[in-house]
Copies of this chain bind each other. A is one copy, B any other.
Amino acid sequence: MEKNYTNYDLDKLDVQILSILMEDASIPYTEIAKKLIVSGGTIHVRMKKMEEMGIIRGSNLIINPQKIGFDITAFLGIYLEKGSQYADAVEQLKQVKEVVELHYCTGQYSMFAKIICKDTSHLRKVLNEDIQGLKGIQRTETIISLEESIKRQITL
């Protein structure tokens, strides 16, 4: 059979399985098997292989943050005093539970974070008390998201 439909060791079947489950992880293996015209056992074997390869990190429930009172999504450009303080800053930011993503990046900012807060006063508290006071952080720039127009996974 032809290989290299895509990268690494994934063949077409693997990619099809991933594509389906990336949209909805609750679809049963038996249904996927029917759709792709293979047996349920095969789906199971492929999934196990991909889990062992580290391609699949796990699954999670997607909740709507706004429905439970988390109304503000913001991005934070962070300037460090010295680039070498990066590792330190990561450890400190891990303690701030409102930080949901943190990137070490190129460009004007040393680091770039995504944070989710309940309201403006919560955001102010996180910025002033939890983040700007951290050792090594010089200053931050805040971009507030007024609307999330697209939110999806990559298409394989």
Chain A positions within 8 Å of B, measured between CB atoms, are: 6-8, 10, 18, 21-26, 53-65, 67-70, 73, 75, 90, 93-94, 97-107, 109, 111-113, 116, 118, 141-156
Contact = CB atoms under 8 A, between A and B. Distances in A.
B59 A10 contact: no
B25 A105 contact: no
Nearest to A26: B59
Given A6-B69, A25-B26, A25-B61, 4 more contacts: A6-B68, A56-B62, A104-B145, A112-B145
Nearest to A22: B61
How many protomers of this protein does the assembly include?
Answer: 2
A75 to B, nearest CB: 6
A8 B68 contact: yes
B64 A58 contact: no
A45 to B, nearest CB: 17
A118 B6 CA distance: 11
A103 to B, nearest CB: 4
Nearest to A65: B154
A55 B69 contact: no
Contact of A154 (B70, B105, B148): B70
